[in-house]
């Protein structure tokens, strides 16, 4: 008991210290007396149209510590003092699984006006959670300033039958983000994640080829979930019964990995946010072969290592069959969304 109290106290002291440091650095950069510091601060980019609506915040608050702090056991007075609120999401990353939803959420969180829900909440796809009601959902959201927007991601939303109607009932104008990758690669990545789960439990698992192909017909097995999830247009069509196509934005998950900034700028524009994510915020880590995120001079973050798994070798004939299988669905998806990818 005493130990946890001490731990909490220590955490708060640390937080206060880092807040103080952050505010100081921020002030120094903001005042502009040290021009050299200017490009270091993501907050000091040129001013966008809604600049005055985005509260100026200490550098530290973006790193999430503040949110976690308030999610902990802060008094009501402290929350009110900072006018923090828990808001329903104004944008949701609805999928797709293995498309890069986590990377997208983390990268969008670089934006000072965006606050992420760290956990996948599974509110709309899980009947039990959904039964707890909208107020339960809202209370799962992080604290934010009123002018910030909250974003959550749950990739199962995209493929779950009931979800579009449920989200529509919450807010029929909510913005929907879908991050996709080339469908065959995505299916193999999906399989790889399941395989690793089995391996961790020392269980054997089928080869990808066996699952993805029907043994009798030697055709693609459309009952296999990893294949079905990659038929993007089928799922999207269910969503379009509730939302107009303009309410969706498609993110290129393959490009987000190699060239994140232009993809993020498209999302900023879709969300009507001033362009605030800059090259400063994303640096390439050669050891990882992946971009890391820089929130400010003191805080940066690399995505978890498990996000870049190596895929098993898949029989090229099976890959070719899958390419051919997905092709017409992809064409339809491009036609509906107005975004075309260089997929086979």
Ligand X SMILES: *[C@@H]1O[C@H](CO)[C@@H](O)[C@H](O)[C@H]1NC(C)=O
Annotated binding residues for 3'-phosphoadenylyl sulfate, as ranges?
Answer: 98-102, 181, 189, 307-311
Contact with ligand X (CB under 6 A) among 6, 53, 171, 258: 171
Q: Is 98 one of the catalytic residues?
A: yes
Nearer to ligand X, 282 or 341 (CB): 282
Nearer to ligand X, 175 or 276 (CB): 175
Under the binding rule (CB under 6 A), the answer on residue 287 touching ligand X is yes
What is the spatial distance between Cα 344 and Cα 327, in angstroms, rounded to a whole number? 7
Contact with ligand X (CB under 6 A) among 79, 292, 297, 336: 292
- Provide the minimum distance between the beta carbon of 90 and ligand X in the complex, in angstroms, as a whole number: 3
Q: Catalytic one among 62, 63, 90, 98?
A: 98
What is the spatial distance between Cα 56 and Cα 145, in angstroms, rounded to a whole number? 10
Sign of the CA dihedral with 181 first, then 184, 190, and 192 last: negative
Nearer to ligand X, 90 or 102 (CB): 90
Do 208 and 186 form a contact (C-beta atoms < 8 A)?
A: no
What is the spatial distance between Cα 131 and Cα 330, in angstroms, rounded to a whole number? 35
- Provide the minimum distance between the beta carbon of 35 and ligand X in the complex, in angstroms, as a whole number: 25
Q: Could you give the C-alpha distances from 180 to 59, 117, 224, 333, 343, in angstroms and in order?
A: 32, 21, 19, 11, 11
- Provide the minimum distance between the beta carbon of 265 and ligand X in the complex, in angstroms, as a whole number: 18
Contact with ligand X (CB under 6 A) among 79, 174, 257, 282: 174
Q: Is 249 helix (H, G, I), strand (E, B) or coil?
A: strand
Sign of the CA dihedral with 194 first, then 123, 247, and 177 last: negative
DSSP string, 126-164: -HHHHHT-HHHHHHTSPEE-TTSEEEEE-THHHH-TTHH
Contact with ligand X (CB under 6 A) among 139, 198, 288, 327: 288
Under the binding rule (CB under 6 A), the answer on residue 73 touching ligand X is yes
Do 236 and 337 form a contact (C-beta atoms < 8 A)?
A: yes
- Provide the minimum distance between the beta carbon of 33 and ligand X in the complex, in angstroms, as a whole number: 29
| Helix, strand, coil fractions of the chain, as percent rounded to 5 | 50, 10, 35
Q: Label residue 48 exposed, middle or buried (CB < 10 Å: 0-12, 13-18, 19+).
A: middle
CA diameter of the chain:
74
Under the binding rule (CB under 6 A), the answer on residue 285 touching ligand X is yes
Under the binding rule (CB under 6 A), the answer on residue 62 touching ligand X is no
Q: Report which residue's Cβ sits closest to ligand X.
A: 90
- Provide the minimum distance between the beta carbon of 152 and ligand X in the complex, in angstroms, as a whole number: 13
Under the binding rule (CB under 6 A), the answer on residue 202 touching ligand X is yes
Stretch of residues binding ligand X (CB under 6 A), selected from 92-100, 160-168, 235-243, 287-295: 287-295
Contact with ligand X (CB under 6 A) among 12, 30, 90, 122: 90
Do 338 and 236 form a contact (C-beta atoms < 8 A)?
A: no
Catalytic center residues: 98
Residues contributing to the site for ligand X (CB under 6 A): 8, 73, 88, 90-91, 171, 173-175, 201-202, 285, 287-288, 292, 302
């Amino acid at each position: 008991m005493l130990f946890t109290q001490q731990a909490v106290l220590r955490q708060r002291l640390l937080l206060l210290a880092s807040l103080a440091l952050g505010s100081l650095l921020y002030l120094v950069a903001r005042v502009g007396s040290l021009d050299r510091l200017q490009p270091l601060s993501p907050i000091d980019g040129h001013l966008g149209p809604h600049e005055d609506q985005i509260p100026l915040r200490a550098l530290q608050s973006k790193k999430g510590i503040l949110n976690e702090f308030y999610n902990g056991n802060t008094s009501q007075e402290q929350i009110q003092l900072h006018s923090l609120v828990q808001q329903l999401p104004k944008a949701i990353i609805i999928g797709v699984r293995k498309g890069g939803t986590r990377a997208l959420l983390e990268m969008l969180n670089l934006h000072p006006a965006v606050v992420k829900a760290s956990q996948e909440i599974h509110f709309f796809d899980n009947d039990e959670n959904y039964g707890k009601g909208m107020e339960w959902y809202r209370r799962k959201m992080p604290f934010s300033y009123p002018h910030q927007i909250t974003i959550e991601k749950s990739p199962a939303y995209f493929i779950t039958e009931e979800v579009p109607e449920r989200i529509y009932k919450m807010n029929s104008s909510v913005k929907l983000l879908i991050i996709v990758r080339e469908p065959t690669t995505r299916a193999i990545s999906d399989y790889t994640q399941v395989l690793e789960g089995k391996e961790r439990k020392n269980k054997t698992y089928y080869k990808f080829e066996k699952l993805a192909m029907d043994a009798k017909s030697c055709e693609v097995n459309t009952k296999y979930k990893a294949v079905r999830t990659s038929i993007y247009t089928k799922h999207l069509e269910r969503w379009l019964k509730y939302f107009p196509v303009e309410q969706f934005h498609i993110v290129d998950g393959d490009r987000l990995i190699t060239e994140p900034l232009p993809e993020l700028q498209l999302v900023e524009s879709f969300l009507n946010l001033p362009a605030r994510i800059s090259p400063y915020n994303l640096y390439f880590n050669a050891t990882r072969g992946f971009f890391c995120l820089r929130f400010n001079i003191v805080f940066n973050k690399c995505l978890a290592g498990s996000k870049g798994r190596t895929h098993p070798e898949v029989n090229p004939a099976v890959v070719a069959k899958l390419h051919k299988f997905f092709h017409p669905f992809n064409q339809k998806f491009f036609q509906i969304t107005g975004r075309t990818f260089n997929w086979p």
